[in-house]
Amino acid sequence: MREKKKHKLKWSKLYTFSCLRPGADDQADRLFGQPGFSRVVFCNEPRLHRSKPYKYSGNYVSTTKYNVVTFVPIALFEQFRRVANLYFLLAAILSLTPLAAFNRVSVVAPLVFVIGISMIKEAVEDWNRFLQDRKVNSRKVLVHAGEGLFVQKSWEDLAVGDVVKVSKNEYFPSDLLLLSSSYEDGLCYVETMNLDGETNLKAKRSLESTLSLDEEASFRDFRATIRCEDPNPSLYTFVGNLILNEETHSLTPAQILLRDSKLRNTEFAYGAVIFSGGDTKAVRNSTRSPSKRSRVERTMDRVIYLLFGVMVFISLVTAVGSAVFTMKSDVERWYLRLHGGDDELFDPHRAALSGFLQFVKALMLYGYLIPISLYVSIEVVKVLQAMMINNDLAMYDEATGKAVEARTSNLNEELGQVEMILSDKTGTLTCNQMEFRKCSIEGISFGGEVTEVDLAASRRMNIDVERHRFSLDGASDSTARSVEMLDLFTADGSTEKEGLSGGGCGGGKGRDSRVSVSEKERGIKGFNFRDGRLMDKMWIYRSNVGEMLMFFRVMALCHTGIPVEGEAGYEAESPEEVAFLVAARQFGFRFYQRTQSAMVVEEVDPMSGAEVMREYKLLNLLEFNSSRKRMSVIVRNEDGEIFLFCKGADEVIFDRLSDGGRTYQQATVMHLSNYAEDGLRTMVFAYRRVGASEYEKWSGVFAKAKASVGPERDELLESASDMIERDLILLGAVAVEDKLQKGVPECIDKLAQAGLKIWLLTGDKKETAVNIGFACSLLRHDMEQLHLSTSNEVQMKAKDAKEEIMIQLQRFNQMFIEEGEKSPFALVVDGKALELCLNTNLSEKFLSIAMICDVVICCRVSPKQKASITRRVKEYSGKTILAIGDGANDVGMIQEADIGVGISGMEGMQAVMASDFSLPEFRFLERLLIIHGQWCYRRISKMILYFVYKNVAFGLTLFYYNVFTGFSGQEFYDDWYMVMFNVLLTSLPVVALGVLEQDVSSDVCIKFPALYKHGQQNKCFSWKRILGWISNAILTSLILFTLPISILSPSALDRRGSPADASHLGAATYTCAIWAVNCQIALITSHFTWISHFLIWSSILSWYAFLSLYSDAYSAAAAYKVFPDQISAAPVYWLATLLVVAAALMPYFVHVAVRRSFYPADEDVIREMERTERDAAGESAVWEREQERSKRETQVGYSARVEAKIRHLKEQLQRKRKSFILSVTNSRQ
């Protein structure tokens, strides 16, 4: 049974992987026991780790902010970070004293309600995080329970020392020491995309001493001790020893399997837990969930400080006025009998004390200047906004069945102020699926699908870009020349100014037939190629069939893949190799079988067209790595001929070509340039025949280098490989597409038009990142690329590397000065250069240059570096940063950013659990920001400004009345009037405003993404606007107080001539205030719904209903019967209400009328166009002009790239015209 499960391939005999090298580290022995190297692990004996000194953390991992013990103190701390809550806590305490201005219940109850609602919201959100944690911690894994028996346990139950069995495509539950695998020599493949973003599989190999542990029963008596480094965040280093059977074996990173990486292409692997839970390197690379607050909320705190300052000022005025009034009243107002009284608030002999007590009372009396219900209203509104975001069907992905989820509602409005996006690549922008797209064989390009950029440019210019490109590539046949002549005289850049709405990747009904077919139409995963010259075996009829045969053999033999059952049919170290194997199969070269020393290919015989089996003996495999940038296989065919097949980066292969092997180099270079511009990954194919004697001589050198031990081993292997990889013959090149997620280019285009800068942070190599930059339209061909990197010669010398980086930064700065804004810039930074820039005094210089560039691409960055660059950019620029990623390697970046977005894709839930918002795919970020973000920002801004307005307008009437009554501290309104003002009578319309308001519709937001810039510039919540609303509130308060008193004081309320007393004046003024603030919200509402109307007018009616019921209650005291029997029967009361409300609203109405008539904002113009249904079809020049304005300053994105392509084609056409005219003129002469 075991033999059926075991793979018979001993890969170490074929490969030269660095993980297979023998090694010993004498220096490591001296480190153990020292600080940083004190960990001891008893393998298969977890019970020894239950007590100190060997007790280590469990494997439970949490991303929550609170636990049962810390929730109350931390949540209360978060609530009382808000200055308003602190004030109301003080007011609640003072309400228990005799100085209370109002009933203590009316003061304490609102505070408890506000704090309670906020804490409940925090608890619910953290509970959701806890549930997500449970999903991860409850994953199952097989664990050795003793006597050779493995049982399933949850991840959270694992302990250091446990031996686990991980099956194919499962994640590693903790950091493990690899003991053995399904391969006989202990090799296994690991996908680390969750950790470093790299898609290539990593080969890991166990020590030879543990290879015998390949069955469950073999662990019955297994015991070993590991002495190693302490927990640390370094993903690429490990120092340790394994003591087994009294022998010590050195451990390297090649034997370590990290948590959150995945086992691939290997049936199973056994490992011993070294680090668990918070000690694992993946978790060490993450940070605790921070407490995030939006920019609007921080500004709101400063507004509260301002209002608090105003309240303190008028309280001081009241205190001074009261003291002066009390001293004068002792003589002038003798009838008040203040002298000899026991009321300390009015003691003429202790005026200072009376003034101080009046000051304290005034702080409570004027408390309505501080809107206590603002916070709870905002909390409620944000929760409802989050529910609307979660239920937006336009952000539901049918393919995965997942929708957008707002995991916290604290940052809704921050979505409308994002200025920079830091994005991961793999799994975020791309699907991690490679597709074979194009190839160049003997200088001829095949697979002529045009890109969407080419197609859109051809529509705009009314030419065939595809044929034009081929004519420029040097096609020499008569057809191409006739096409070229036709293009020269028919193309006109001014013809047919067609929009780009049909040119997106989504395509439209007019989608060009040459654009690559969709996967549904194709039906072949990994193959997106169409060219009748090669498909269906048509290549066998071409004249150069011999070279094509060699080209396809390179594709079918030069790889690390193995045939498997499944959709693609193959598995390999990298997805590119799988795409090559699928393409080779489609061209008639099916990789059929791999044995220990042979590879079998079912290939087409070009003579007969029949499919025949051919076996190639595999002699050597020289692996691909980041320094070699190439891979080679040496095989012997059935005729005994030896061939070296090589593939790799263009610059590396071109340097190794023979003089006679460069025939097609110029044409290939041109094709490679075009492929790269289309965002495709390229690789060059070459081969050579190797003589038998030459191979025998080289094989001895290579075997000696492979068997060497020591630091010079890599150098010897590279030297030996270089000997044979020479004098190559160029065959051509291939281009594969790292398939973007649906809608990524269009999303980036809209985000760029909205004024957002996008940085790409990836663990992949530079070439891959640049290709993706082109594919998703972050880069374009006319963009100046600035490459910041360290050369290989100085990588080990920090001082020299720093000087080199400084020289490059100075050169970039000089380029900015010389070229200015003439051309866009893109900065491409590798991981080592980035580390130097962030950890030295070069940081500010680097960031200043990076902020100037239109695009920044950081390659080979670790999770820690992602978090570091996010933090540094946020601190340096002060901009609102959004980070988006899909894996555990993105968690630190997501948590450091102002807004963290996780992609709920295929790579676990770590990024989602750490995020503030989760998306099924990147494309939904467009709608989340440009629509919901813009709406939420404008809604919250309007809501806060309105709250400030209504509370200031209402609260100042108390101050005016206090002045009017001689600073007596007398209440103007009944206690329950005060409670009802914020709790019922004005709270619901503002909730409707915060949830339902739309300055412009969703369609208009997408058509005019430049409107989003108002949030970036904080136009809706600027201090200018804040102070304007406070001024409006002050003016309204004056009108609300003076007019009712002026109208009602000299008038009789009934036929008996009864004058209005304080209760009548209070009720009448309160009525005017309720009408004014509710009508004001009607004026600022742009999007009315039946809910808005109902809540506004029902709030006003509720006041009359409440007053009627409350007036009939005996407990109403002074308000008893004040409405039904007194003021409601007086016509002057109703007339005063009408006049006062109209006067109070007039200043705002006039202001808005003047501004919209003479100084309209962008949204005013667009809203007017939308509401009048003018230009709704997009055909008017006005509508088109407004749309073009949003694209004018954009340097990044699909639209900018199309414009750049058009300029490039115009220049080429102009040169061709001149050349053609000149040649005709010369021929006539």
Known catalytic residues are 424
Question: φ, ψ for residue 308 (rounded to 5)?
Answer: -65, -40
- What distance lies between CA 1057 and its chain's CA centroid? 71
Contact criterion met (CB below 8 Å) for 606 and 550: no
């950890």: which residue's tokens?
Answer: 839
Q: What is d(CA 224, CA 245) in angstroms, rounded to the nearest whole number?
A: 7
Rounded CA-CA distance 363/365 in Å is 6
What's the token pair of residue 778?
């972050």
d(CA 1037, CA 1032): 9
Determine how many CB atoms are found less than 10 A away from the CB of residue 516.
Answer: 19
Q: What is the C-alpha to C-alpha distance for residues 498 and 503, in angstroms, rounded to an integer?
A: 10
**Per the structure block, which two tokens stand in for 421?**
């996006």
**Which amino acid would we find at residue 1068?**
A
Query: Cα(921)–Cα(886) distance, rounded to whole angstroms?
Result: 10
Rounded to 5°, the CA angle 716-721-724 comes to: 135
- Residue 1130 main-chain phi, psi, to 5 deg: -95, 115
Strand partners, 1006: none
**Residue 1072 DSSP one-character state:** H
Is 866 within 8 Å of 768 (Cβ atoms)? no
Q: Which two tokens stand for residue 427?
A: 């799994």
C-alpha distances in Å from residue 565, one per residue of 568, 569, 577, 864, 913: 8, 5, 16, 38, 34
Q: How far apart are CA 840 and CA 802, in angstroms?
A: 8
Comparing CA positions, the residue from 1201, 1172, 1178, 1194 lying closest to residue 1003 is 1178
Are 1049 and 1066 spatial neighbours (Cβ–Cβ below 8 Å)?
no
Q: Which two tokens stand for residue 31?
A: 């480190």
| Owner of token pair 């491409």 | 828
The CA-CA-CA angle for residues 788, 792, 793, to 5°, reads: 115
- How far is the C-alpha of 555 from the C-alpha of 582, rounded, in Å? 10
Tell me, what DSSP letter sits at residue 414?
Answer: G
Residue 1091, C-beta contacts closer than 8 angstroms, at least 6 positions apart: 992, 996
Angstrom CA distances, 23 to 28, 252, 711, stand at: 12, 8, 9
Measured CA distances, 24 to 11, 121, 186, 228, 1220 (Å): 22, 56, 19, 14, 70
Tokens matching residue 184: 């006989």
Q: Which phi and psi (to 5°) does residue 307 adopt?
A: -65, -35
DSSP 759: E
CA distance 571 to 423: 28
Q: How many CA atoms lie within 13 A of 469 on its CB side?
A: 25
How far apart are the C-alpha atoms of 727 and 660, rounded to whole Å?
A: 9
Q: What angle do CA 1123, 1124, 1129 make, to 5 degrees?
A: 90
Phi and psi of 1164, rounded to 5°? -65, -45
Strand blocks (E) in 370-410: 396-397, 402-403, 405-406
CA distance 854 to 850: 8
Contact (CB, 8 A) for 529 and 437: yes
Distance CA 923, CA 905 (A): 13
